[in-house]
Homo-oligomer: A and B are copies of this chain.
């Protein structure tokens, strides 16, 4: 191979790394970012957040941009992910959303009937959620062109679950009661959420997002057939419309070991896998249809730094040298994570396999 054209010897920018890896093109090393990288484990985050509520931070573009850039600047990450929340769209659709520190979110009124669904508002994104666009523009100005910028939303099912349960649920009794007991209303809810999310994601791309990630945080709670038949159509439409904006789309589902083929069929460029999924098996099951993102166990970061380095190298080795790996944690970083473990993980993830 001509050394000039060998991608492994060319130095790419972080943005190029992520965009190329998402499309399974060769890179010098896998791009590196991690879920909730703008988070409570960082002292500068805790300091900035001490000044107001979580939702105030989300809704203030200056604060959101500052929090977004903190980990990128501290660690030199390949991508920034906008500091925001998957409950921004439900709030824009007319629900009252509150965050009680430690207790998680509360949404009111609950969405349980057809009349409740009918009352939801398919909002104009610039009007109702322009603060997200403004934050993205501020971040882009600050990080420049060499760092990728990731926009996001919840998947239709995850968004619907919050609306139906009114909180983080463990078992989703009410969401599943509607899913199985009133499938027409449930489908209507997923479609209405999707109607709102499509322009919301479009706005984020217009404001500078290079990549979109769709978080189906609770999608792993249903079996594969239910995911394919009931959740699939709306999620597929959201992915398809998001891709039509021209950026690559990542679909992340926590607890997705039983869903990989179903997720690949929905057409995302990248599937985000959690730490329980073996990367070799994921590659075999997904084939060359999608790149993969993941998948160090965030709880592993509580081990000593040298152990974190070894476990990170094991993850990198498991994904191997084939194009199409975006390094990440298998789910969001945990609040008490030691910063030195993060540094150890990042150093190991950036080692070149040949070096």
Complex: how many Å from CA A177 to CA B334?
A: 13
Give chain B residues whose Cβ lies under 8 Å from the Cβ of A311.
180
Given contacts A171-B334, A223-B278, A224-B278, contact A297 B176 (CB under 8 A): yes
Decide: A276 and B180 in contact? CB cutoff 8 A.
no
Q: Is A225 an interface residue (CB 8 A)?
A: yes
Interchain CA distance A153-B181 in the complex, whole Å: 35
Contact digits for A154-175, partner B, Cβ 8 Å, 1 yes 0 no: 0000000000000000011111
> Is A54's beta carbon under 8 Å from chain B?
no
CB–CB B278/A174 < 8 A:
no
A residues 303-325 touching B (CB-CB < 8 Å)? 303-304, 307, 311
Instruction: Tell me if A298 is interfacial: C-beta within 8 Å of chain B.
Output: yes
CB neighbors of B among A146-205 (8 A): 171-177, 180-181
Q: Is B171 in contact with A222, judged by CB distance below 8 angstroms?
A: no
Q: Could you say which residues of chain B place their CB within 8 Å of the CB of A275?
A: 223
Q: Is A220 interfacial (CB-CB < 8 Å)?
A: yes
Min CB distance A184 to B, Å, is: 13
Q: At the interface, yes or no: A240 with Cβ under 8 Å from chain B?
A: no
Binary contact readout A281-313 vs B (1 if CB under 8 angstroms, 0 otherwise): 000000000000000011110111001000100
The verdict on A110 contacting chain B, using a C-beta distance below 8 Å, is no
Q: How many copies does the complex hold?
A: 2
Nearest to A221 among chain B residues (CB) is B276
Total chain A interface residues with beta-carbon distance under 8 A: 33
Task: For residue A288, give the distance in angstroms from its CB to the closest CB of chain B.
Answer: 22
Check: A122 CB closer than 8 A to any chain B CB: no
The residue from B176, B220, B224 contacting A302, defined by CB atoms under 8 A apart? B176
B residues less than 8 Å from A258 (CB atoms): 257-258, 276-278
Inter-subunit contact A173/B307 (CB<8 Å): no
Task: With CB as the reference atom, state the residue of chain B lying closest to A297.
Answer: B176
Q: Are A181 and B307 in contact (CB under 8 A)?
A: yes
On whether the beta carbons of A181 and B278 are closer than 8 Å, the reply is no
A299 touches B181 (CB 8 A): no
- Provide the residues of chain B in CB contact with A7, threshold 8 Å: none
| Top-5 shortest CB links A-B | A177-B302, A181-B303, A257-B258, A180-B303, A176-B299
Task: Sample 13 A-B pairs with CB under 8 A, ordered by A number.
Answer: A172-B299, A173-B302, A173-B334, A176-B297, A176-B303, A177-B302, A221-B276, A223-B277, A223-B278, A225-B278, A257-B258, A258-B258, A258-B278
